[in-house]
Structure 1
Amino acid sequence: MEKVNTVVVGAGQAGLSMSEHLSKADISHVVLEKGRVAENWRSQRWDSLRANGPAWHDRLPTMPIADIEQDVFTPKEKLVDYLAAVAEKIAAPVRTGVTVLSVKKLPRKQGFLVSTTAGDYEAINVIAATGPFQVPVTPEIVPKTAGVVQMHSVAYKNPSQLPEGAVLVVGAGASGGQIAEELVDAGRKVYLSLGRHIRPPRYYRDREGAYWTGVLGRWDTVNRDKNVQNIALAISGVHTKMPIDYRLLASKGATLVGRTAGYGDGKLTFADDLPGNIREGNQSYLNTLDLIDKYIEYNGLDLPEYPDARNLLPATEYEKNPIREVDLADAGITSIIWASGFRRDYSWLELDIFDEDGNPIHESGVSKEPGIYFLGLPFQTRRRSSFLFGVWYDAKYISDYIAMIQAYHDKYST
């Protein structure tokens, strides 16, 4: 059995950030990855995906993305290359193709038994760096016998993958909005089912949206609810200066409906919440513009005004007279893409460290079981915790915490 101080599970941005800090602290560790480095970016994203922020922002703090203009929104393939380059630069001890089967407390001994498909490890610490996007959630609304192709957004690659016919996209966040727009631009008939969402400005008063979120301190927003999920964020890296606007998408041909509520006799039913959801999304956009304007005035910044930014498109017919039911056959819908999020899966952690809903009990990633840590959770310490550019800071906290505890043990070790 191989002995190591720390086992890190996952070799995405969270695991690599963790490895960098552990190496700097001279803490022996391995990073176990069931696929390849950045596997989710490789195999669970669509072809045209770009980062939702510019290259100067959406990266790890200690390494810029090479061979790309820093104001460009990085394509998926480039992000994969970047994370692989990070792993090489920091000499991360990554072991790919290794699935962690279980983690159990060693009886009457400090540490844990980590069982994997490549053998067992004995570790003082285990860090679950598997992030927030673990198991795709597909609501059990439309039965497989309905005669339509159904897939989660992780399986979607491009429009040519889908059979001829109309497509229902379910989800108001970045994935749902971007996929729906791509399908509309490809000439497909699209129904887009929208739930609650917020939509930030993409570019305002000569500054990128990520900049404004940063200087306004919104990346550092703290939420004390340890099980909080990020509300659907309608944002895209495809258009560097234009926010996602579902009314604009409707003007291009998309049919907007409310939250998908049920199915029966070949018909989908939708909630009557579409007007409220779009109104809430638009209000969040306007509220952010207000905050930016106040910041500029308060600090005396000389930045041009953007009066047209507040000119919202008029309400669509779908908001005035919401569609509550669609017959799949009559509408020609042959595909459904569920951009419906993910759930966490820590079944391999065989420890009493979860609440009744299966969510980890922790403080800033430190579990109630000494030696077990979590990294990359939504709002783990603040809003930025689950994002590419933000997880690095939480990783440093955990590394410092592990080093501190180890110093106590070393004081009286023989």
Structure 2
Amino acid sequence: MPVEKTDTLVVGAGQAGIAASEHLSACGIPHLVLERHRIAERWRTERWDSLVANGPAWHDRFPGMTFAEDGDDDFVPKDRVADYFAAYADKIEAPVRTGVEVTQVTPLTGRHGFRVETSDGVIEASNVIAATGPFQSPVIPPIVPETAGVTQIHSSAYRNPSQLSEGAVLVVGAGSSGVQIADELLEAGRKVYLSVGPHDRPPRSYRGRDFVWWLGVLNKWDMEATPGAEHTTIAVSGARGGETIDFRKLAHNGMKLVGLTESYADGKIRFAADLADNVRNGDAYLMNLLDEADAFVLRNGLDLPEEPDARRQLADPACMTDPMLSLDLAEAGITTIIWATGFSADYSWLPANALTPEGKPAHQRGVSKEAGIYFLGLPWQTRRGSSFIWGVWFDARYVADHISKQRGYMAYQATAAQETIDA
């Protein structure tokens, strides 16, 4: 049986893979997109039931299509986000093949391109784009042993409050996922402890504009990566029509806030004494952004209403002034720990030259050190907005343009070689 061949193979049919397909088609590059499950599968089956997009519909989309059932300022439910990408793939006639898993990519010997082993056979491709995204393998820190007598799940396995056993819940991680899950559990009547680490806390909106607009006009989406910036936790929510996360308010509403989770021994979890600092540093981020927004309004003469309430803060709750440094799980009645502690990525299926010694992508703006291997959808791939829906679309254009340019070089070399032979 002859081996199937294509110019460019895209691995993954989430937002990164679909964006790559659109730009590859625009460049006239033959390609194939492989997806081991369904298009945008993680939006459907690896998120909690009530999740909505963290940005409004006018912003968190591709330029070529709006959301059919949602207004511009709505925060789109997760299933309709997945439907959007499936519909977009149909619109651009993306050559997506679902139910096919890529297991290994190996450079061809003595000629350009790669041998790609899949669950459906072998494919040869001149280029491979790894568009599998940053949210691949849930990470649960090895802090609390399985013998501790509590159920431990990652936030990606959480669906709704009724899924959990009766009892109190400890949520570890106060980024967008952790704080929204903790808030939902508190609203459902659960006793909730939330472990809050360092984070940025932007306003959901200010002076009549969503924070994504402010980050845009202030050129913050285009900030390039700085050491450590790719690990910044952002506390923001699109729930209830979008709202600013306020840890003091959560505490006054009954949530028990603690600092960074550090260790476990003899049935007790120990927390760092950093809760107050973490909350106040998050406040400082918010205030700095409000200052920049006010300066932008003044400088540009914009008619946007002032919003003094955005700077008002509740009193420090007792959990900040007298922090809890240790928690006996049994005494607190905790039956479940939800780890909202992020994800890791596995690129071991790619050639070693495309990776760092630690197994991370070795690239510049998505262009790998291994010629012909590309990455797409990475956090801070080119800028702050790279892993967001709209940001990955622009990164995909750069990657497709680079592939097109390289194809031009290869075509020239082939022509030059033929002219030499003819002479």
TM, length-normalised to structure 2: 0.96
Q: 1:353 Cα deviation (Å)?
A: 2.3
**Is 1:405 aligned to 2:412, yes or no?**
no
In the alignment, the residues of structure 1 paired with residue 14 and residue 68 of structure 2 have an alpha-carbon distance, to the nearest angstrom, of 18
Q: 1:212 Cα deviation (Å)?
A: 0.8
Give the letter aligned to residue 347 of structure 1.
Answer: S
**Is 1:341 aligned to 2:347, yes or no?**
no
1:362/1:95 CA distance change after superposition, 3 Å: same
Q: 1:229 Cα deviation (Å)?
A: 2.1
2:215 corresponding residue in structure 1: 213
Q: 1:137 aligns with which of 136, 139, 154?
A: 139
In the alignment, the residues of structure 2 paired with residue 411 and residue 66 of structure 1 have an alpha-carbon distance, to the nearest angstrom, of 45
2:108 corresponding residue in structure 1: 106
The more displaced of 58-67 and 353-362 is 353-362
The more displaced of 173-182 and 230-239 is 230-239
Q: Tell me if structure 2 keeps the 8 A contact 1:57–1:389.
A: yes
The more displaced of 357-366 and 176-185 is 357-366
Give the letter aligned to residue 353 of structure 1.
Answer: A
In the alignment, the residues of structure 2 paired with residue 331 and residue 252 of structure 1 have an alpha-carbon distance, to the nearest angstrom, of 18
1:100/1:228 CA distance change after superposition, 3 Å: farther
1:53/1:90 CA distance change after superposition, 3 Å: same
SS of the residue 1:352 aligns to = helix
1:235 corresponding residue in structure 2: 236
SS of the residue 1:400 aligns to = helix
Give the letter aligned to residue 33 of structure 2.
Answer: V
2:421 corresponding residue in structure 1: none
Map 1:145-164 → 2, pairs under 5 A: 145-164=147-166
Q: 1:224 Cα deviation (Å)?
A: 5.0
SS of the residue 1:210 aligns to = helix
1:332 corresponding residue in structure 2: 333
1:27/1:105 CA distance change after superposition, 3 Å: same
In the alignment, the residues of structure 2 paired with residue 394 and residue 303 of structure 1 have an alpha-carbon distance, to the nearest angstrom, of 32
In the alignment, the residues of structure 2 paired with residue 333 and residue 24 of structure 1 have an alpha-carbon distance, to the nearest angstrom, of 54
Structure 2 unmatched ranges of 5 or more: 419-423
Give the letter aligned to residue 248 of structure 1.
Answer: K
In the alignment, the residues of structure 2 paired with residue 242 and residue 394 of structure 1 have an alpha-carbon distance, to the nearest angstrom, of 29
SS of the residue 1:126 aligns to = strand
Give the letter aligned to residue 398 of structure 1.
Answer: V
- Identity among equivalent positions (%) equals 56
Q: 2:26 aligns with which of 17, 24, 27?
A: 24
Q: Deviations over 1:148-184 (max 9, x none)?
A: 1110000000000000000000001000010000000
**Is 1:202 aligned to 2:208, yes or no?**
no
1:68/1:267 CA distance change after superposition, 3 Å: same
**Is 1:92 aligned to 2:94, yes or no?**
yes
Q: Tell me if structure 1 keeps the 8 A contact 2:75–2:242.
A: no
Q: Tell me if structure 2 keeps the 8 A contact 1:173–1:232.
A: yes
Q: 1:228 Cα deviation (Å)?
A: 5.0
Structure 1 unmatched ranges of 5 or more: none
1:374 corresponding residue in structure 2: 375
Q: Tell me if structure 2 keeps the 8 A contact 1:111–1:125.
A: yes
In the alignment, the residues of structure 2 paired with residue 358 and residue 315 of structure 1 have an alpha-carbon distance, to the nearest angstrom, of 43
Q: Tell me if structure 2 keeps the 8 A contact 1:11–1:38.
A: yes
Q: Tell me if structure 2 keeps the 8 A contact 1:138–1:152.
A: yes
Map 1:380-399 → 2, pairs under 5 A: 380-399=381-400
Q: Deviations over 1:312-343 (max 9, x none)?
A: 11111111111011111100000000000011
Q: 1:81 Cα deviation (Å)?
A: 1.0
1:140/1:241 CA distance change after superposition, 3 Å: closer
Give the letter aligned to residue 158 of structure 2.
Answer: Y
SS of the residue 1:74 aligns to = coil
SS of the residue 1:383 aligns to = coil
2:249 corresponding residue in structure 1: 248
1:191 corresponding residue in structure 2: 193
**Is 1:274 aligned to 2:275, yes or no?**
yes
In the alignment, the residues of structure 2 paired with residue 363 and residue 295 of structure 1 have an alpha-carbon distance, to the nearest angstrom, of 32
**How many equivalent residue pairs?**
413
**Is 1:290 aligned to 2:318, yes or no?**
no
Q: 1:242 Cα deviation (Å)?
A: 2.7
Q: Tell me if structure 1 keeps the 8 A contact 2:193–2:255.
A: yes
